[in-house]
Amino acid sequence: MTRTILGLSGSLRRASFNAGLLRAAADLTPEGTRIEIGSIRDVPLYDGDLERASGLPGAVVTLQAQLQAADGVLLVTPEYNNGIPGVFKNAIDWMSRGPGLQMWVDKPVAVIGASPGGFGTMMAQDHWLPVLRTLKADFWAGGRLMVSRAGDLFDADGNLTDPASRQRLAAFLEGFAKVI
């Protein structure tokens, strides 16, 4: 049986370091595991009036279906101003609406990220903890992966080219896949 991980990048920029880190993760998954890359691009800003009038937007329904089908979730987070990017948190907030909240309960979730700075995405990763606790997700703390100085490790198209970083990513994924 193949394990499926829903992978979400918190950046909308197509050549972002985090979108590239997620693509690399999809390429490096261990045998018996696959990453389905979801997209937060079309998720609107949360608006309770919109939800009440129209229900869940199509992009959210798609993400919820992917979440429901997944055995685990990989959040690939940028760090903006020492925290979670608003667009990423917004997408998770939408995903928890309606039947979505129950889909997070006990779902294994891992968080990784890449940043041009020297500390990687340490603060953003830590800021996800109360969110995941509230969702009752099963946060995997068995590994931590922060890709620092990403500008030196990715090519112009946002592809992770650094062999050592790719090796660390593969080891991280191996550990996460074991708990799913």
Domains by residue range for the chain, with CATH: 3-179 (3.40.50.360)
pTM, full prediction: 0.97
Output the pLDDT for position 14. Answer: 80
* pLDDT at 15 (0 to 100): 87
Environment class of 167 (CB within 10 Å of its CB; exposed 0-12, middle 13-18, buried 19+): exposed
Round to whole Å and give the CA distance between 157 and 24.
12
pLDDT for 131? 98
Mean pLDDT by 10-residue block, N- to C-terminus, for the chain (180 residues)? 96 93 98 98 97 97 98 97 96 97 98 94 97 98 95 95 98 97
* Residue 74 host element (H or E): strand 72-76
pLDDT at 140: 98
pLDDT at 1: 83
Alpha-helical segments (H) within 43-162: 48-54, 58-69, 86-95, 100-104, 122-135
